[in-house]
Amino acid sequence: MRSDDMKCGVAKAPHRSLLKASGYTDAEINKPLIGIANSFNEIVPGHIELRTIAEAAKKGVLMAGGTPMEFPTIAVCDGIAMNHEGMKYSLPSREIIADSIEIMVKAHGLDGVVLIPNCDKSVPAMMMAAARLNVPAIVISGGPMLAGRYHDQDVDLITVFEGVGAVTNGQMTDEELEELENAACPTCGSCSGMFTANSMNCISEAIGMALPGNGTIPAVYSDRKRLAKESGMKIMELVNKNIRPRDIMTLEAFENAFTVDMALGCSTNTMLHLTAIANEAGVDFNLDKINEISMKTPNLCRLSPAGPYHIEELHMAGGIMAVMNELDKKNLLHSELINVSGLTVGEQIKGKVKKGSKVIADIDAPYSQTGGIRVLRGNLAPDGAVVKQSAVAPEMMQRVMKAVVFDSEDLAVEAILAGKIQKDDCIVIRYEGPKGGPGMREMLTPTSTLAGMGLDKDVALITDGRFSGGTRGAAIGHVSPEACEGGPIALVQNGDVIEIDIINGRLELKVDEKELEERRKVLVIKKPDVQGYIKRYSEMVSSASTGAIV
């Protein structure tokens, strides 16, 4: 056991004395010491019930012969942080969460760790920490929120954001918006569509770091507590067999994860997070490889915002194991890989047949023949850009449009609300990248407001920032290099013609190269005026094309 270096022998008597000061007995100290990394707080709705999950996980560890030791991490609610200064801190929180887990596990010589995340950045952060530490680890999240009901229709947080646009456009009253606001988020949990948190929780199953059901069992179901107990027991098996994250998160496991990602139609943020986790695991995975997987993977699910279904319905239809079983019919998965369950992928998905064909389509009759996410390249994005093509209207897949340029999200939102955006406009929002934002703000407000105003089939958005997993429409993010690094997006001017070709993966600024060179000579790059942690982050963070890693 790793903890032996901290607790065994005459020289470690002071260490044992300190453990006893915390109330641990000799019998507890002599057992494997298991960290319980709990991201509970009283702000984030997906984390408000994580004390219950932690208690269940600790019971599992105790039942299997280990000593659980709980410690906290932070978490940010992207919905609450949206559209103000707070969103600059969401993506940077990923690094702090990963670093804090590394510190706690390394400093105290823990033998294994149960990771308890739920919302957007906590899930990838904890998997990054697992890959970095490479001590036995398992993920058990808090689970998704149930969808709400409003006027006999399922609704979610995105419906509320779009309601803001509907009020602005005179299609909804303030009173109706308040009624919607009170109905859309009826339980605790991560917001109920295939947004970033649920995307990453589903992927935790696909990559092999969580037990089946982790991505889809609703937060309020008792099954979630039982899964937490099973995860606590399973970590002891992983410790005893010395099965570590890098044994599980291999190159082939990342290929499985991206394949499931494309089948589900996950958030574009998974491109940032999976590449960052791969980096920690020592696995080389670039955007071109992701495009290859997208081109051969059928899109089997159209979950909110791409369609009418929510995570609870995916769970009832068979969950991630049923999606993987469907993919395996076309030999799209590496079925021989091991995972935290102790089974191979093939053994785990055997017999997991989907229920019906609406929530999870048949592999021979998919929603589309290619995956839910597309990587675009061209002179506007030499290092790549990303779009959730499964949530783009057919008429927006190939368009030639005129640019309307803004140097921040705030200015763009102000123009949208003031009615200054017209059909066939292509909104360009720059200086919102990892360095330039800094923090690569998620832009749900402009996209949802446009959708609420009925413009999502007529207006495109292009940014070096990123979009929420709840975004629908021709929202193209992660444009790299970003404006703050002198990328071509910094050269775009109002009225420039931009060609968007999502089908063929192209993003082109139709401006003569000589003209662009003249613009570059007089370009003054805007640097963020920030202090504290966010300033340090801005100075250290890499491009979105490499996962915005520090």
Q: Decide: helix, strand or coil at residue 418.
A: coil
DSSP conformation letters of 367-416: SBSS-S-EEEEETTEEEEEEE-GGGS-GGGSEEEEEEEEESSHHHHHHHH
Q: How far is CA 433 from the centre of its chain?
A: 17
**173 in Cβ contact with 213 (< 8 Å):** no
Joined tokens for residue 202: 């589903």
Q: How far is CA 382 from the centre of its chain?
A: 24
Nearest to residue 268, comparing CAs of 546, 504, 446, 477?
A: 477
Joined tokens for residue 124: 């990838």
The three-point CA angle 79-445-45 to 5° equals: 10
What span, in angstroms and rounded, lies between the C-alpha atoms of 188 and 219?
A: 7
Q: Which of 141, 468, 538, 543 is catalytic?
A: 468
Joined tokens for residue 105: 């596990």
**345 in Cβ contact with 208 (< 8 Å):** yes
User: Is residue 481 reached through a cis peptide bond, with omega within 30 degrees of 0 on the bond before it?
Assistant: yes
What span, in angstroms and rounded, lies between the C-alpha atoms of 325 and 331?
A: 10
Radius of gyration of the chain (CA): 23
Joined tokens for residue 46: 């997906």
Catalytic, 22? Answer: no
**393 in Cβ contact with 457 (< 8 Å):** yes
Catalytic positions, written as ranges? 468
